[in-house]
Amino acid sequence: MKFSLNQFLMAISLALDFVEIDIRGRSTNHGKRVAYASLRIAEKMGFKNKDLYDIVSLAILHDNGICEASSNSLKGEINEEEHRIDHCIIGENNIVNYPFLKKRKNIIRYHHEAYDGSGFYRLKGSEIPLISQIIFFNDYLENKFELDKIDANNRREICNFVKEMGGKIFNPEICSIFLEILNNESFILDLKNNFIDMALNSRMNEFYLDLSLEEILNITDVFSRIIDSKSKFTRRHSKGIAEKAATMADYYEYDKEQKIKLIIAANLHDLGKLAIPNSILDSPKKLTEDEFYMIKSHTYYTRAALSQINGFEDITEWASNHHEKLNGFGYPYGKNGDELDFNSRLMGCIDIYQALTEERPYRKPLEHDTVMSIMNDMVQGGYIDKIIVKDIDFVFSK
């Protein structure tokens, strides 16, 4: 399969924006802005096309471990400083299968190292990978000044800060290049939310890889690791659904391609839950109407991310339709049975079975027979597919 690395990267970027919706209450395009500013500096430093793609990828991915680290912080396991170093370590581990164009190591791990050696690992100057230094610089400025809000007043403030910190926490060469770029009005406009996607895409070369579906399955692990780290109650949810999807694919004697696509869809079906606060996902109480409305948005977000990847059309449908119902009472589109293909129906049934057999904050895991009784009631109500429910009962009762 001809696989677009650019499309995959933008889908990951959108997924990480979902985490910002949860943590910051809004999508800030933080990763994209760090990536764009890093790209502009790297261009001036003489990096070439493949390196530039990897720099953008690493900048977009730099906070990919923040979801799991935040989950640990909420449980009181680590303090704020430990949270920051924890997300660097988790983030580095999460990207082990990412298809960078060159071998990359410890860029994410060291992206909070300061030039003067005052960072977590006490690395200093050239001991820190140069790409880590570039990302650290732009991440720091973006967090401190919100670069989409640059105006005449804070431009002077940013300039003074960069000059003051050059040779201290920042590489002086990076500072000098940034100050040169900052004089360009188009750079400031490019950082605005309305233009950041266009600016980033216009400066990136397109890269494709010829990958087998097995290889694509491996690299989508970048997504599934982030998803399942969201909540302790869903830590095995996507993995469990992927395992059951594989079992049902074998039962239905799917060919290799369809089976792998189904597993990928299972891995990614809850991508949109990254945007849902843990206070809702982990709530032991009945959800309010507004909270349930937020829950129902997650499959829309899943579709928004996956639909950016050419060749993922089937995967996007199966992943995004898992809360639709045959009688039209599902969400987010209210599709009916005529609009749901077999694998969309199958994914919906597997999701219900997996969720009911898992622990939740408001109940213990349910036994197989209890789950099947609930699912058969849903069949009678016209919600889910009778044949698939019968097959699930047969396969998983053993």
Q: Where are the domains of the chain?
A: 2-208, 212-396
**162-195 confidence digits (pLDDT tens):** 999 999 999 999 999 999 999 999 999 999 999 9
Give the DSSP letter string of 62-78. TTTTHHHHHHHHHTTSS
- Furthest C-alpha separation in the chain: 70
CA nearest neighbour of 327 among 388, 378, 391: 378
Domains 2-208 and 212-396 share a fold: yes
2-4/208-210 β-pairing: antiparallel
The pLDDT score that the predictor gives to residue 58 is 97
CA nearest neighbour of 326 among 338, 335, 341, 337: 337
Mean pLDDT of the chain: 91
Hey, what are 3's tokens?
A: 């696989």
CA nearest neighbour of 16 among 67, 58, 80: 67
The pLDDT score that the predictor gives to residue 78 is 41
Distance (Å, rounded) from C-alpha 138 to C-alpha 62?
A: 11
Distance (Å, rounded) from C-alpha 368 to C-alpha 361?
A: 19
CATH of 212-396, one of 2.30.40.10, 1.10.3720.10, 1.10.3210.10, 3.30.70.1530: 1.10.3210.10
CA nearest neighbour of 70 among 87, 94, 50: 87
**pLDDT below 50 — which residues of the chain?**
74-79
CA nearest neighbour of 222 among 73, 82, 67: 67
**317-373 confidence digits (pLDDT tens):** 999 999 999 999 999 999 999 999 999 999 999 999 999 998 877 789 999 999 999
The pLDDT score that the predictor gives to residue 76 is 47
The pLDDT score that the predictor gives to residue 183 is 94
Hey, what are 191's tokens?
A: 């950082």
Q: What is the CATH number of domain 2-208?
A: 1.10.3210.10
Counting every residue written for the chain, the total comes to 398
The pLDDT score that the predictor gives to residue 19 is 78
